[in-house]
Structure 1
Amino acid sequence: MSLRVFVTGGTFDKEYDELTGTLRFRETHLPEMLRRGRSMLDVQVEVLMMIDSLEMLGSHRQQIAEACARAPESRLVITHGTDTMPETAQHLAATITGKTIVLTGAMVPYAFGSSDGLFNLGSALSFAQTLPEGVYIAMNGRYFAAGHVMKNREVGVFEESPNPPTSQD
């Protein structure tokens, strides 16, 4: 089974810039993470964009949806910033059929060493192989169906939500 991972940025791939004291993007950490995790999966990594999810617009979500639609693989993982991940999942659920798509991210950048990113990536890869067609978010060892998940900013975890997210466009 072959899987494709689309990279969109988010905290997952941020690094600390010592000169400016800010977080920034250079390149994705996905190949290193797959190597360190000793992944034996056939995984294709494709960088779509490297942006903070708070900067994500409808046009970015459409770009992600188009990439998912044209991917030859039926099982996809998307790394994404956690702030607007539910909105992107909702958009994909409304536009893509016939595929299993799992979005994941991190609360702490991978480059910091104490990140939840490696665990979340492994979970997302496992869920993408086993869940039925649909769009999901995988965080903290759990998965949630698109439209029924929210980020609890007070405790920094994702949880079930009966209400679909609103658009951030």
Structure 2
Amino acid sequence: MIKVTILMPVYNGSLYLQRSIGSVMAQTYADWQLVALDDGSTDDSLSVLKQMAAADKRIKIMTKTNDGKGNTARNIDIMSAEAEGDYIFYMSQDDYISADLLQHAVTRIEETGAEIVVPDMLLANADGSTEQAKGSFPPNGDYSTLLTGVEAFALCIDFSIHGFA
């Protein structure tokens, strides 16, 4: 079975974490791990993270002192050291995912042998409505399209493929 590790950097995200991590905990695909790194939050983020980790052993919490640089790449590197999955999925602290997202991604990987699966990304507005995010659609609107790594990289340059792939 394919294991998916979800990496989530956190900084002062206590308002979003229940919904965000709750959407991970609600996945229909069970073989996942969430690694959350609290980057020295000054709100209740760490408390919320600990509470949620106590409810699900697949959630691992890491902490570090905030160095004031907002270095997402470095934080991802730190979290990656704890990753147990065959695939990595990145989530921001204010993101939430549909309950079947990981199942669909793993199914696509198994069907195609893809190295990367790019999910749809919608923007949630304050009024509860959603809209298609720029770059979250497949090339030419064709979800069956398989790209080489070079093609996918080129499409990321101008955000034709969103950066959460």
Q: Indicate the structure (1 or 2) with the bigger Cα radius of gyration.
A: 2
Q: By the TM > 0.5 criterion, same fold?
A: no
Interval containing the TM-score (normalised by the shorter chain): 0.3 to 0.5
Question: Higher relative CO (CA 8 A, sep ≥ 6), structure 1 or 2?
Answer: 2
Structure with the larger strand share: 1
